[in-house]
Chains A and B, each alone.
Chain A
Amino acid sequence: MSRLGRLLIVLFALLAATASARADDYHELVAKLGSDSFSDKEAAAQKLGELGDGRAIPVLKALSDGLLYTTSDNRVVIAEPSGDGFKITDAADGTALGEVKEDAITKVRVNNRLRGLITGALSQMTLFSTDRSQRLTAARDALRHLTPESTANLERALAKEQDTEVRQALTLALSAAQLMSGTKEQRIAAIGVLSASDDPEVRSLLGQLANSGDLDPEVKQALSAAQSNLEHRLMWIGFAQNLFQGLSLGSVLLLAAIGLAITFGVMGVINMAHGEMIMLGAYTTFVVQQIFRATLPPSWFDLYLVLSVPAAFLVAGFAGIVLERTVIRFLYGRPLETLLATWGVSLVLQQLVRTVFGAPNKEVSNPSWMTGGIDILGGGTITWNRIVILGFCAVVMIALSLVLRRTSFGLHMRAVTQNRDMAAVMGIPTARIDALTFGLGSGIAGIAGVALSQIGNVSPNLGTIYIVDSFLVVVFGGVGNLMGTLAGAMSLGIVNKLLEPVAGAVLGKVAVLLAIILFIQKRPRGLFALKGRAAET
């Protein structure tokens, strides 16, 4: 046997010895978790974290979830409720121990301090995990659970880390740890690193330090410079985020209001059942989804939403045409009566849907290409469904304006809007145009329902949530004008979302409502009023 061989044997032996020593430690620590004294448990949890043994992860998780129990023979077990009793497995080595009754085991009690330690220990351990995404989460978590031991741990992890993104997160967390407990130079350097980050947590850390009193003047100066810099940047990021939220809300409002703008603008008809057309669209989406689930293989499921759009358009459009032919056409020229009658229709439709589908919310799931989101600076995410809806809204707007400008139906519709009598004289079948226009407006409401089903609950009173808002959009933007509706929806959405952080969600909304009420006083015909003859009627 060569020297090398012998050396290897010695090495292996040594390794095995340390491994078994560590294993013993591990078993001992797990056993200690079952102790009655909180300080023992705390020490054990902390040591388990420092040990870095992956087997401890489920044990600690079970402890913090309250699933860790001790048996009468002082064995620490993980218990899962099954039937009347519990299925237990040994916590340390995971051997199944069968089922027991509830009184055979005692729960290991946890307090908040212990829970905090567990979280810290868990994130320490995952710093060394083999899975990159786990390490990344752990590195980001480390920033939120700084302990005196963090520095050493993070330094170790940073030395081993190869991945750039994880390294960044680790550096950030390490700087944060040094900021709280390092030397003067370390602190100033840490402030430099931290001030480049947009994490809101960093801001609160800097704030904590600034408030902690006796600081070196140099540190203090660096700190206040970094703080104002950071404040400034975070403000802009927050602003941009609110802006996006506003655009997103605006696109939802726009989808809900376009159909209304058409029927209100072209026919002067107040359709209070418009919200229920949105609801019908959302329920159509639900039905299409159920059909896909029941009949087609799961791989096709993502396509259900694509099919829902025309389905919802047809269902709501048909409902709209029926509504126009049976109720509204008898009420032309009597807008207040139309308002009341369509309100009645909305009540009937709501109750109908409630009777057929039941009152509870229906679950409509996002297809896989709409789930998740993009992480952006400052710790926020922009979800895909919001982005898709924004794009979808743009497509609908473009398609609609093409229909209005490039088709003979659109031409007829515009002619009727501008001068009904003259259009009739020119041979345009105004009654048919009315019915089709109403169908178009309702169909678009149905499409809006498809979009809304992706971001909120599908319930019988889905429509009532949007009806007041959509009316305000139309009135604000100006009647009979798509650009006005677009501007109205977007400005309402953005103003709403920008006011929210300042005034709170509800008060912001109240302020917007009051502002519109005042605005209408000044410009009773909306932002983009029709000019010329059409405006006089």
Chain B
Amino acid sequence: MTAAPKFLFDRRGWAFYLGTAAVLCVAVPLLNFLPGPSSVLRIPDYLIPLFGKYACYALLALSLDLIWGYAGILSLGQGAFFALGGYAMGMYLMRQIGTRGVYANPILPDFMVFLNWKELPWYWWGFDHFSFAVLMVLLVPGILAFVFGWFAFRSRITGVYFSIITQALTYALLLAFFRNNMGFGGNNGLTDFKDVLGFDIQAPATRRALYIASLVALGAGYLVCRAIVASKLGRVLLALRDAEARVRFLGYSTAHAKLFVFTVSAILAGIAGALYVPQVGIINPSEFSPANSIEVAIWVAVGGRGTLVGALVGAIAVNLLKTWLTGSFAETWLFVLGALFILVTLVFPRGLVGSLQQLSFRRRPLAAGAARESMQ
């Protein structure tokens, strides 16, 4: 963030970006099926959707870092946009089941037959088309964020107030989606998916494709965020994060700038959710729970706020830790997560990436630039 970079990255940056992309997008899937089943090099099947899941989490964390790290908006409802995107995709996948459900009803999903519904509710119309579902994945979180942000930023709700009402938003959605007569499967959510775009959702090849799609989304999302923060808008965001009133007095419309990134961030979160659902095979209301959203904040904080890369690192690191601990020492996971929250904020406020950057800046004092000051 020192001088404005040449088209997002310098040459080393591009090399690193493309190199990582090649390894993750090409080498990992190849290693999944080229080496023989007993080979050391082979990546077992169960890891592919797990990696895909991490990529979705990373995209979600990225979406939060864009608004929290750069515009100082801590949304505790990021999980709501993630879940809405997930539900849009889940609805498409539900429609693909067709007559293969338990009740073999050609029109209604199982849970509606179970509830004795006769007709498909209007808001399910169109979800049998993939393109429509994709549109909804983008539009539903985007429009919600736009409307919500419009009201919130216009009345200058900032800081913890914004955090609390976004938390209330996701809580309200949680309660609403728990209701059976909402038509989204109630408590059980949407599950038992069979195929996506005609491919069996369980097949290793489909899983590889979903994994690659997640990575592509993550990579593209990263470039979008990078483009935003490197632009003039990014500068305005940084400035309003540190002194909003001053930026306003200088004649910038801070509300519009915030509204724009908030909406972009919600769309990114929605995409993450949409890619997440086919890989885990279920979407239910617990994704809306406030605890999930606040956990995203800790991924970002662990990785380092306002660095973008940090969000990716943090999401993957914390989730690796979570997978390992909940598998082997389930009891300790909440202790560790709680301790992470406390330690990161108290003694490690820059996170992993932020601290590394600081180290490298110390080694090259000339490059230390004024930009560092604003990290708090």
Contact = CB atoms under 8 A, between A and B. Distances in A.
Interface of A: 270, 327, 330-331, 334-341, 343-352, 355, 464, 468, 471-472, 475, 504, 506-507, 509-510, 513-514, 516-518, 520-522, 524
Contacts of A507: 176, 179
A61 to B, nearest CB: 37
A412 to B, nearest CB: 25
Given A355-B331, A468-B168, A509-B175, A521 B345 contact: no
Contacts of A513: 168-169, 171-172, 175
> Lowest 10 CB-CB distances: which A-B pairs, in order?
A344-B341, A347-B338, A348-B338, A351-B334, A513-B172, A341-B345, A344-B338, A337-B345, A344-B342, A521-B151
A237 B356 CA distance: 67
Contacts of B297: 340
A518 B155 CA distance: 10
Contact of A330 (B294, B298, B346, B376): B346
B96 interface: no
B335 A348 contact: yes
A340 B341 contact: yes
B155 A506 contact: no
A336 B155 contact: no
A513 to B, nearest CB: 4
B224 to A, nearest CB: 24
B279 interface: no
Contact of A344 (B169, B175, B337): B337
Decide if the interface of chain B is mainly helix, strand, loop or mixed: helix
A521 B152 contact: yes
Given A270-B160, A348-B335, A506 B175 contact: yes
B340 A351 contact: no
A510 B176 CA distance: 7
Contacts of B298: 340, 344
B102 interface: no
Best-surrounded residue of A330, A345, A347, A349 (most CB of chain B within 10 A)? A347
B165 interface: yes
A351 B294 CA distance: 17
B273 interface: no
Given A335-B159, A347-B334, A350-B334, A341 B342 contact: yes
B334 A340 contact: no
Contacts of A347: 334-335, 337-338, 341
Nearest to B300: A340
B151 A345 contact: no
Interface in B331-354: 331, 334-335, 337-342, 344-346, 349
Interface string B133-168: 000000000000000100110111101110111011
16 contacts: A331-B346, A336-B68, A336-B163, A340-B298, A340-B341, A343-B341, A344-B340, A344-B341, A347-B337, A348-B339, A475-B161, A506-B179, A510-B175, A517-B169, A521-B157, A524-B157
A524 B164 CA distance: 12
B178 interface: yes
Given A348-B338, A351-B338, A475-B165, 15 more contacts: A270-B160, A327-B346, A330-B346, A340-B341, A345-B341, A345-B342, A348-B334, A348-B335, A348-B342, A471-B167, A509-B172, A510-B175, A520-B155, A520-B161, A521-B154
A475 B159 contact: no
A506 B338 contact: no
Interface of B: 68, 74, 148, 151-152, 154-157, 159-161, 163-165, 167-169, 171-172, 175-176, 178-179, 290-291, 294, 297-298, 301, 331, 334-335, 337-342, 344-346, 349, 376
A344 B68 CA distance: 18
Contacts of B291: 464
B237 to A, nearest CB: 16
Contact of B168 (A334, A472, A521, A522): A472
Contacts of B155: 520-522, 524
Contacts of A506: 175-176, 178-179
A141 B313 CA distance: 68
Contacts of A516: 165, 168
B167 A468 contact: yes
Given A471-B164, A524-B157, A339 B334 contact: no
Given A331-B345, A517-B165, A336 B160 contact: yes
Nearest to A517: B165
Nearest to A333: B376
B162 to A, nearest CB: 9
A341 B163 contact: no
A349 B345 CA distance: 18
Contacts of B339: 344, 348
Contacts of B164: 270, 471-472, 475
Contacts of A345: 338, 341-342
